[in-house]
Structure 1
Amino acid sequence: MHYPSQRGFTLIELVMVIVLMGVIGGMVSVFMKSPIDAYFDSARRAGLTDVADTVLRRMGRDIRKALPNSIRIADSQCVEFIPTKTGARYRSDPGGAGDVLDFSQSDGSFNMLGNNPAAPADQQIGAGDLIAIYNLGISGADAFAGDNTAAVSSASPGAGSPPESLITFSAAKKFPLESPTKRFYVITATEKVVRYLCIDATGTNAQGHGNGTLYRQVLSLPLAESTTCPASVTGAAVMATNVSACNFNYSGSDLQRNALISIKLQITEKNETVSLQHQVHVSNVP
């Protein structure tokens, strides 16, 4: 009987192939390591930049809606302000059938020029909101102390032509100062004070990560002014972690009724650092 020939490879040939594959793999890994490391480094930097940019934009959006003359900075690690959701004008001319806001005595209601229900949902005045008039941020005209604010109990639909809405207070209020432009601002019931606060934003740890955390804290009114930032917070939203440096700087101008707030945020992860700076123009015309 004839058997077909059988072919194979020897153990020496197998060892030689394994050695050659190892050499080739080692050579390839040398050339591949740098591009792979660069890819992960680039992805990490992009992630850090995205976090920092998103946080700064959110802060800028909040600060632009701040009640005039309400921004306070205890030190470079925190900033607090009273956010507003809308503003309008109150009736001051007694002509017609509208309810005029009386500044000579306590008044429980007034007519807003405009139709409240016609405004976007997030800008409509509702129960629990606060009306603030001519906030100067000084004693006697400070919204943080409640000098020039009154709580809303109801806001009726607009009536007349052009329409005017009746705003009723929970309790009658005598406002200390009248606005030269007959303007009032509305402080939302759910966020009367917003504070951005960096805690432990001082360098990095042994793993190369930033030590600090940036928080967004919602507070209530009235709120006394503090000379230092809190060392800890509870119930605050975390905006960014791995913060290695943080700085808030507020430059106001009483003569020009405007101000500038500068925010610097530095985030470090695995010794990779991204540092961004953002400036927000603030209108302090009350």
Structure 2
Amino acid sequence: MMRSQRGFTLMEAVLVIALTGIVAVMVGVFIRAPVTGYVDQARRAELVDIADTALRRLGRELQRALPNSIRVDATGTALEFLPVSAAGRYRAAPDAAGAGDFLDFGSNTDNSFAVLGPAVSVSAGDQLVVHNLGLPGADAYSGESRRALTSTGAALATLSYTVGGTQFPFASPGNRFQVVRTPVSFLCSEAAGGAGSLRRYAGYAIQAAQPTSAAAAPLSTLSGADNALLAAQVETCRFAYDPNVSPRNGLVTLTLKLTSGGESVTLMHQVHVDNAP
């Protein structure tokens, strides 16, 4: 007995393939836009997260800047400040019994004073600052309002320092002092298409002139944690500083634009800083 043969003809196979291709093209047209939108949105969210994290980090560090120590270069791409590690009030006069180690601004040999209030901690290399105005004659960077501490340790009730031939030029109206460490700089390298970067530099000596080039000393000699990448994919970056936004406060404006895959985001962050020395 003969059995019937079952299968597809060539015409049926070609028709199925053609219909499947048409359906696939139609599905691709409708699916492509949502998928592309999702990818673009994810890229933008990543850029926003990178920029926001970098700006918030920078803002937190600026909150502990020595009053009147923030400086921005003429291009607006380099920012530097002196971080405060400890602060307090110095004894400005003897007590009722005529005793007490007070800071005598009229003496060029007095090199110590008692700390009023909580004791402070000092690490090796820390420096003492009194009434920094950031102006010629009272500038911590140039050294007029800054002295090297000779006492180190934890919970110090008395601080000793090197006078250096002259006493501090001005007394603080509030009898305040600050202990600072080595400077911190943020430098932007701008490049079209997001090929630039924002980096943090630390661990270099205090200098009268602001370092503004990553290719020159002292920044070029730094590595590891002292030369840290805060944000990549930077297209433009600007720092602006108004020291007189109010009688006692300054305002730092930070703007960062990141670009990746044709997508760009621009974030601005403002930080109020205390400028009362």
Bin the TM-score by the shorter chain.
Answer: 0.7 to 0.9
Cα contact 2:122–2:154 (8 A) shared by 1: no
Give the aligned partner of residue 161 of structure 1.
none
Task: Give distance in 2, aligned partners of 1:88 and 1:14.
Answer: 88
Deviations 1:23-49 (A, max 9, x none): 222211111100000000000111111
Task: Give distance in 1, aligned partners of 2:30 and 2:91.
Answer: 75
For the pair 1:180 / 2:173, whether they are aligned, the reply is yes
* Counterpart amino acid of residue 43 in structure 2: R
Calculate the aligned-residue CA RMSD, in Å: 2.7
What does residue range 1-286 of structure 1 map to in structure 2 within 5 Å? 7-75=6-74, 76-95=76-95, 98-103=100-105, 104-116=107-119, 124-155=121-152, 165-169=157-161, 171-172=162-163, 174-188=167-181, 192-199=182-189, 201-202=190-191, 204=192, 209-218=193-202, 220-226=204-210, 229-230=212-213, 232=215, 234=220, 235=222, 236-253=227-244, 256-286=247-277
Using structure 2 for the length normalisation, give the TM-score.
0.83
> What SS does the aligned partner of 1:107 have?
coil
Using structure 1 for the length normalisation, give the TM-score.
0.81
Task: Give distance in 2, aligned partners of 1:243 and 1:156.
Answer: 41
Q: Which moved more, 1:148-157 or 1:268-277?
A: 148-157
Q: Which moved more, 1:103-112 or 1:140-149?
A: 103-112
Deviations 1:76-97 (A, max 9, x none): 2211111112321112232266
C-alpha displacement of 1:276: 1.2
C-alpha displacement of 1:222: 3.2
C-alpha displacement of 1:140: 2.4
Aligned residue pair count: 263
Percent sequence identity over matched residues?
Answer: 42
Deviations 1:195-250 (A, max 9, x none): 11112x25x2xxxx223221212253431225x83263533222222222122222
Task: Give distance in 2, aligned partners of 1:264 and 1:156.
Answer: 39
Task: Give distance in 1, aligned partners of 2:194 and 2:245.
Answer: 37
Task: Give distance in 2, aligned partners of 1:265 and 1:239.
Answer: 12
C-alpha displacement of 1:7: 4.5
C-alpha displacement of 1:6: 7.2
Specify whether residues 280 and 80 from structure 1 end up closer, same or farther in structure 2 by C-alpha distance, changes over 3 A only: same
* Counterpart amino acid of residue 89 in structure 1: R
Task: Give distance in 1, aligned partners of 2:38 and 2:230.
Answer: 26
> What SS does the aligned partner of 2:207 have?
coil
Q: Which runs of 5 or more residues in structure 2 are unaligned?
A: none
C-alpha displacement of 1:14: 3.6
Cα contact 1:69–1:284 (8 A) shared by 2: yes
Deviations 1:56-86 (A, max 9, x none): 1111111221111111122122111111123
Task: Give distance in 1, aligned partners of 2:83 and 2:122.
Answer: 14
